[in-house]
Amino acid sequence: MTFREETGWLIEIVDGGVPAYWGRGGEDGVLGWTADHIKALRFARKEDAEMVIEEYGWTRARAVDHMWCDYSHAWEHVAVVGHECCKDCGIVRRADDKNGPCRGPMKLRPMEKSWPVSSHPL
């Protein structure tokens, strides 16, 4: 499982209930406000974000902590099955690639006592 957890401080302004972040918002890569938190500049410390806010003189902006998580599958081709499966959780990759997040290694418990086929009550 490729699990990444990243944290950082962003500069945020909420306008009309919609947050905007300071970062690379447009196609040209120029710094500005963007609704996409992925494109926001990430600061390691709160005081660094606050220093930029103070330098620009923004009165409505604030430093906010943020977390990004990635629970990606580790796909590999399994010849026996003829499909790609996750090395960790064992799920088969969907043709439309819309599998849910990886849940990590499966935890199996010991097999329960099973009935012999000939003496099964049903």
Indicate whether 47 belongs to any domain.
yes
* Tally of domains within the chain: 2
Indicate whether 115 belongs to any domain.
no
Q: Kindly state whether residues 63 and 85 are assigned to the same domain.
A: no
Locate 96 and state its tokens: 């439309």
Indicate whether 119 belongs to any domain.
no
Reported as a pLDDT band with limits 50, 70 and 90, residue 119 is low
Q: Kindly state whether residues 6 and 66 are assigned to the same domain.
A: yes
Closest CA to 42 of 72, 14, 6: 6
**By the 8 A CB rule, do 93 and 86 touch?**
yes
Q: Kindly state whether residues 13 and 27 are assigned to the same domain.
A: yes
Round to the nearest angstrom and report the end-to-end CA distance of the chain: 41
Q: State the alpha helices, DSSP H only, in 1-122.
A: 46-56
Q: Kindly state whether residues 83 and 62 are assigned to the same domain.
A: no
pLDDT at 114: 58
pLDDT at 11: 97
Q: Kindly state whether residues 14 and 64 are assigned to the same domain.
A: yes
Q: Which of 49-53, 64-68, 83-87 has the highest mean pLDDT?
A: 49-53
User: What is the extent of the structural domain holding 55?
Assistant: 2-70
Interval 89-105: pLDDT, tens: 888 888 898 888 887 77
